[in-house]
Structure 1
Amino acid sequence: MKKIFLLLLLFLFGFIFSVVAQDRILFFQTNWGNQLSWDAFCKKAKESGFDGIDIWLPNDKENQDALKRALTKYELKLNLMHGTVKSLPLKESLKQYEERLEELMQWKPVLVNSHTGSDFFSYEDNLKFIEIGNRLSKKYNIPVYHETHRGRFSYSLPETLKYLDKAKELPLTLDMSHWMVVHESLLKTHKEKWETIIRNVHHIHARVGFEQAPQVNDPQAPEWKNALDFHLDIWEQIIRKGLREHNGVFTVTSEFGPPTYMPTAPYTRMPLGDQWKANVFVMNALKKRLGIQ
């Protein structure tokens, strides 16, 4: 009887371990501001522990071919960026948005992250871009996530909630650093609003912002601990929810940007932080928070 009990216990532990082991967060490195060749960039991303890269697709064939070779060589996954061209008349902008998104789908990325619409477009016109993204997402069975971003339909927390009230489907990428600036607040006192947002987030752009800027100079610095901890709190909630919804897999892009998005010293314009180091740090901080080795 004792042996049977021990065997059952071992089986139970094995089952729990197997379930936990299936959970996986895929981390992507941005190529924002990158000056390296595709081969060197992908090599560095792989060596730093990233599972893939998150990029705006180059237009020329030579660059595209080099990108394909590097992705294959270093066994990296691909997220693609997309966006509404706000300078075009609405009809042309909608056409361009749809045609370019069709092109991106041919690459079969893990997901497409969209800078959708404009804060100067009407509610109804922004919905047209959202509808195109959702329709092509279904057609190709590739997620299109609409990023919370300044200058877009989702430039603020309350504006985004208005769209969530009306849009039939609105899967989001959360980059909460933009809202920190827009509202001059870490938004810690809006629990109910965060709960609604979190329910609709399927991808994260992980950058730490604060009340006066969308990016701290160094997320490891002690003066930013309060902001970092709040970002980690929200991200953890999203990831734990997302792992249940996405069969144990969730995606995160580390997205600290280069100078001058990264604060710089006057006159010399030397960056006050290290972009690559910040992106690796935020990836590892999330792994530590979630108990990932």
Structure 2
Amino acid sequence: MELLVLRSIWSGPESLEPLLQQTVDAGFNGIEGPIPDSPTARREWQQQLQDHNLAFIAEATTGSDKSDSGNWWIPKPERSLQDHLDDLRWTIEYAAAMDALFVSAMTGYDAWSWQQNVDFFSQALELQQQSGITISFETHRSRSLFNPWITRDLLQQFPQMQITCDFSHWCVVCERLIDSEWEILQLCASRARHIHSRVGFAQHAQVSEPRAPEYQAALIAHERWWDLIWQSQKLRGLPRTTMTPEFLWDNYMSTLPFTQQPVADVWQITCWMAERQRQRFAQLGKTKLGQTQVSQTPTNIVQPTEHSRD
């Protein structure tokens, strides 16, 4: 199984050429981000991605308001179920033209009823079937898959549903590391298409510095969950897996009071995480599946007492 490591568009320069050149120079395999609105920008993106030999994962964000610069990614209560479907349909329509590997979608609304969720995902999966474009639904705060239990129920309701696993969000929602929900993690692993390898903890969806010793318990827990996904994908015979170290600036990175100075460097962390996971994936490939322990509920986990900034 091959690992493709992508970087988020939100972690780099706004201009396309510097963004892509930085991505190539750092050894990433591609970009994850939204499809540009204008035909001219889409054509430029597609050409530049081809020229740089970069893969692309199309990001869909439904039911939001792009004019709200402060919280544009948050679903708006007044946006209807049909609005969410229309937003998703728009991304699907252009994903094939952009040669996207698939669509990773922040969809739905955490305040929806069970029936609203069923209605939405029924129709979203029909869009997937009709278009032939795979949709990977992200586990994300404020969205339908905002906690482990609603995600479990929807995965059981829709056996064909695939997900982008960003477990950092669940750590905040549940206010704990989520080894307590091991059976749900196993179910998620069996449906995982894509991983966002950000590290969260009980009070924030992004640790300020995953190399710091105070965050080692959170880092190791997330890696345990990602190993579970990789193991499942190997057993399913997937030829390729994808991962985006989605460390971000925009209020994800902690800042100092008054000055708003970031306490760490997002791009440096992103590159460190990418290389660490490449090495771990390569090591996992040398381990026979029968020798791995991630399929078992973790007990008596010993956290490290030493730390290295490899």
Q: Quote the residue 2:19 is aligned against.
A: 41
Query: Is the deviation greater in 158-167 or in 130-139?
Result: 130-139
Aligned partner (choices 24, 30, 33) of residue 55 of structure 1: 33
Whether contact under 8 Å (1:97, 1:129) holds in the other structure is no
The CA deviation at 1:80 is 0.6
Conserved? CA contact 1:173–1:205, under 8 Å: yes
Q: Distance in 1 between the 2:275 and 2:154 partners?
A: 33
Contact 1:29 1:52 in 2 (8 A): yes
Whole-Å Cα distance in 1 between the matches of residues 5 and 209 of structure 2?
Answer: 20
Residue 161 (structure 1) aligned with residue 152 (structure 2): yes
Larger CA Rg, structure 1 vs 2:
1
> Residue type of the partner of 1:91?
Q
1:138 paired with 2:129, answer: yes
1:33 deviation in Å?
4.9
Greater alpha carbon shift after TM alignment, 179-188 vs 245-254: 245-254
Which 4+ runs in 1 deviate beyond 4 A?
none
- Of 117, 120, 126, the match for 1:126: 117
Per-residue deviation, 1:245: 2.7
Corresponding residue of 2:45: 67
Q: Does 1:116 find its partner at 2:116? A: no
- Specify which of 242, 245, 248 is matched with residue 254 of structure 1: 245
Q: Give the AA of the match of 1:45.
A: T
Return the alpha-carbon distance in structure 1 between the equivalents of residues 262 and 157 of structure 2.
Answer: 42
Cα displacement string for residues 90-142 of structure 1 (whole angstroms, at most 9, x for unaligned residues): 33443343244323343230010011211112222223332333223333433
Counterpart of 2:213 (choices 218, 222, 238) is 222
Q: What fraction of aligned residue pairs are identical, expressed as a percent?
A: 27
Number of residues of Structure 1 aligned to a counterpart in Structure 2: 271
Q: Which sections of structure 1, spanning at least 5 residues, go unmatched?
A: 1-22
CA 1:229–1:82 in structure 2 vs 1: closer, same or farther (change >3 Å)?
Answer: same
Residue 90 of structure 1 pairs with residue 81 of structure 2: yes
The Cα of 1:246 is off from its aligned counterpart by: 5.0
CA deviation map 1:6-62 (0-9, x unaligned): xxxxxxxxxxxxxxxxx2101110011533421111111111111110011121234
Q: For structure 2, which runs of at least 5 residues remain unmatched after alignment?
A: 64-74, 286-310
The TM-score normalised by the length of structure 1 is 0.86
Residue 150 in structure 1 maps to residue 128 in structure 2? no
Q: What secondary structure sits across from 1:32 in the alignment?
A: helix
Deviations 1:173-192 (A, max 9, x none): 10000000001100123322
Deviation at 1:63, TM superposition (A): 2.8
Provide the secondary structure at the position in 2 that maps to 1:263: coil
